[in-house]
């Protein structure tokens, strides 16, 4: 809603205030004009109107001033007023009122406040939606050369009484050639609450479609500067965005770009540059956004996505639902965002596809985020020397050469399915190959606790006794070779990985050894 709601109210209020100039030009009394303002606003907005101070000067120019204008929903004292204006001024020339359309030079609104109640801008509960769209509202009887609003506030009231309203500070709003039946240029400056940042926008609005406001056309350009992502719990960085928009209020097509040089997730606190280009369709009547194409670059990892950001009736906030694809990326970039460590756990080429769901809520992003998908890694290797040493040792034993030279520090065909929920990463069918062996694992990893709990099997070329090397140990282990013997491998060993990211522990899952029905 934001500036679009403000523009709609400003048009209705400004045009009505200008209407009183007609009476002023023929010498009507101030009391008559005050009554005209109240009755016209009541009729246009189907509302209850209160107006405190009011004065009219007709020489040398027509100047109308008023204070404490309040517009309430008819019969709705249970919600704040739809509109309140601390003061307003309307100015114009006498001769401009003697021709049609009658023209006023300026309308100035100070301290404009607009309260959008639960359910939107409807003046009455249960108003039906218009069935048809009009092309316009006929020729404008009044034209305002310039409307200017200072320090306006848009307040969107939640349905739940225990929730705080969402506030938009509209610092300035300027419109020219104001008339309901024509296209009106505008420009505005406002503060977006979440993420908090400054928005400047300009373009054209109208002509106003009275019977179907959602069909009112608009177009323009915006800049969104210094948006602080820290105002979204769980992430951080400073975002800048520019873009163009066009269409009508209920279907606004937006094309834009964003740049966040220090994007990070709080759980790791490690920033990476994030740049995006996007195309979206926005429903300006309810704020729902449909992302038709998003191309992002996280450092050197390319990401594409599509989906929607939508609200749910009776629920504060919006749900982000995306389909995310990475065809050629780097696993270290993804791990740097999600794992708190000086260097990533592993490096390598990654391909990934996942469903992305972020429901609304007060918890950290990482606790609300839900992922479900699959990934594949090529030429991957662990960066920790201790972990890589254990992997290399496992490879040597699997080939039956535990005392030989270390193998290459490379894994191939690392792939699996994953699910992230409540800050816990679950993996299934996680397989990778090392020289002499293949490993299949499943289990969990806590993103905050960094606790590891995986179990699975190690399929080796060598038997258990061969993996032990020579000597008496190897001789005794020949007795247990039958327990692990496999038709298609030297041995299949149940294993488990426990501990933490910093101190993983690899070991034999003894319980599964003796529970095996057959080797």
pLDDT digits (tens, 9 = 90+) for 270-285: 899 999 999 999 876 6
Q: Which domain holds residue 471?
A: 384-515
The full length of the chain comes to 519
Residue 138 has pLDDT above 80, yes or no: no
Q: Give residue 120's pLDDT.
A: 47
For residue 177, being part of any structural domain is answered with: yes
84-127: pLDDT as tens digits: 899 989 887 766 666 666 677 888 999 988 887 655 444 333 34
Q: Quick one: pLDDT band at residue 22, thresholds 50, 70, 90?
A: low
Q: Identify whether residues 52 and 157 lie together within a single domain.
A: yes
For residue 128, being part of any structural domain is answered with: no
Q: Identify whether residues 189 and 232 lie together within a single domain.
A: no
Q: Identify whether residues 424 and 478 lie together within a single domain.
A: yes
For residue 485, being part of any structural domain is answered with: yes
For residue 132, being part of any structural domain is answered with: no
Q: Give residue 432's pLDDT.
A: 85
Q: Greater confidence, 136 or 202?
A: 202
Q: Identify whether residues 202 and 102 lie together within a single domain.
A: yes
Q: Give residue 135's pLDDT.
A: 43
Highest mean pLDDT among 157-166, 360-369, 395-404: 360-369
- Which of 208, 240, 258 delimits the end of a domain? 208
Q: Identify whether residues 1 and 118 lie together within a single domain.
A: yes
For residue 403, being part of any structural domain is answered with: yes
Report the b/e string of 111-125 with b at 16+ CB within 10 A.
bbbbbbbeeebebee
* Structural domains counted in the chain: 3
Q: Identify whether residues 234 and 347 lie together within a single domain.
A: yes
**Residue 489: left (phi > 0), alpha (psi -120 to 50), or beta?**
beta
Q: Identify whether residues 170 and 300 lie together within a single domain.
A: no
Q: Give residue 215's pLDDT.
A: 79
Of all residues in the chain, the percent with pLDDT exceeding 70 is 75
Q: What is the pTM of this model?
A: 0.72
Q: Identify whether residues 36 and 154 lie together within a single domain.
A: yes
- Which of 359, 381, 403 delimits the end of a domain? 381
Q: Give residue 169's pLDDT.
A: 84
Q: Greater confidence, 33 or 186?
A: 186
For residue 213, being part of any structural domain is answered with: no
Cβ contact 342:359 at 8 Å: no
Helix H, strand E, coil C: the string for 105-157 is EEEEEEEEEEEECCCCCCCCCCCCCCCCCCCCCCCCCEEEEEEEEEEEEEEEC
**Which DSSP state fits 164?**
P
Q: Quick one: pLDDT band at residue 519, thresholds 50, 70, 90?
A: very low
> 4-8, 71-75, 150-154, 357-361: which has the minimum mean pLDDT?
4-8
Q: Identify whether residues 267 and 350 lie together within a single domain.
A: yes
Q: Identify whether residues 427 and 349 lie together within a single domain.
A: no
Q: Identify whether residues 147 and 62 lie together within a single domain.
A: yes
Rounded to an integer, the average pLDDT of 324-341 is 86
Neighbours of 250 (CB within 10 A): 18
**Which DSSP state fits 410?**
-
For residue 265, being part of any structural domain is answered with: yes
Q: Identify whether residues 444 and 466 lie together within a single domain.
A: yes
477-518: pLDDT as tens digits: 777 778 777 777 788 888 888 998 778 887 777 666 656 544
For residue 372, being part of any structural domain is answered with: yes
- Which of 320, 346, 381 delimits the end of a domain? 381
């Amino acid at each position: 809603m934001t500036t679009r709601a403000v523009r709609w109210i400003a048009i209705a209020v400004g045009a009505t205030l200008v209407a009183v100039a007609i009476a002023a030009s023929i010498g009507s009394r101030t009391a008559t004009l005050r009554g005209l303002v109240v009755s016209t606003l009541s009729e246009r907005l189907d509302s209850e109107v209160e107006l405190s101070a009011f004065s009219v000067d007709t020489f040398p120019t027509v100047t109308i001033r008023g204070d404490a204008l309040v517009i309430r929903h008819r019969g709705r004292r249970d919600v704040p007023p739809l509109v309140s204006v601390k003061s307003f001024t309307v100015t114009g020339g006498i001769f401009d009122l003697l021709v049609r359309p009658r023209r006023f030079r300026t309308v100035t609104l100070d301290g404009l406040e607009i309260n959008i109640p639960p359910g939107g801008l409807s003046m009455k509960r249960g108003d039906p939606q218009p069935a048809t769209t009009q092309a316009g509202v006929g020729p404008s009887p009044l034209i305002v050369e310039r409307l200017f609003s200072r320090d306006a506030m848009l307040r969107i009231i939640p349905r739940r009484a225990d929730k705080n309203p969402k506030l938009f500070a509209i610092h300035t709003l300027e419109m020219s050639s104001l008339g309901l039946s024509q296209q009106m240029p505008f420009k505005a400056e406002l503060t977006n609450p979440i993420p908090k940042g400054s928005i400047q926008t300009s373009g054209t609005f109208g002509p106003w479609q009275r019977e179907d406001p959602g069909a009112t056309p608009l177009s323009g350009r915006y800049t969104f500067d210094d948006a602080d992502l820290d105002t979204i719990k769980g992430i951080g960085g400073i975002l800048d965005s520019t873009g163009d928009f066009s269409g009508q209020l209920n279907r606004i097509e937006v094309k834009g770009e964003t740049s966040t040089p220090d994007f990070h997730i709080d759980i790791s606190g490690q920033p990476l540059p994030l740049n995006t280009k996007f195309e979206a369709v926005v429903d300006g009547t309810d704020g729902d956004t449909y992302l038709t194409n998003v191309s992002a670059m996280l450092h050197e990892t390319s990401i594409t996505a599509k989906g929607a950001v939508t609200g749910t009736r009776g629920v504060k906030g919006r749900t982000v639902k995306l389909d995310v694809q990475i065809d050629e990326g780097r696993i270290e970039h993804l791990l740097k965002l999600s794992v708190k460590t000086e260097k990533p756990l592993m490096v390598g080429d990654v391909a990934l596809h996942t469903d992305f769901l972020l429901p609304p809520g007060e918890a950290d992003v990482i606790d609300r985020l839900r992922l479900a998908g699959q990934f594949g890694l090529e030429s991957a290797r662990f960066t920790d020397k201790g972990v890589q040493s254990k992997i290399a040792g496992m490879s040597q034993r699997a080939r039956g050469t535990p005392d030989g030279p270390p193998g290459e520090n490379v894994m191939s065909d690392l792939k699996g399915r994953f699910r992230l929920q409540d800050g816990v990463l679950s993996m299934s069918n996680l397989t990778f190959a090392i020289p002499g062996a293949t490993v299949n694992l499943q289990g969990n990893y806590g993103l905050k606790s960094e606790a590891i709990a995986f179990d699975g099997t190690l399929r080796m070329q060598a038997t258990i006794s061969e993996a032990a090397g020579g000597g008496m140990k190897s001789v005794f282990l020949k007795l247990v070779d039958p327990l692990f013997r496999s038709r298609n491998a030297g041995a299949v060993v149940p294993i488990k990985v426990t501990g933490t990211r910093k101190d993983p522990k690899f070991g034999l899952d003894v319980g599964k050894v003796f529970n095996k029905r057959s080797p």
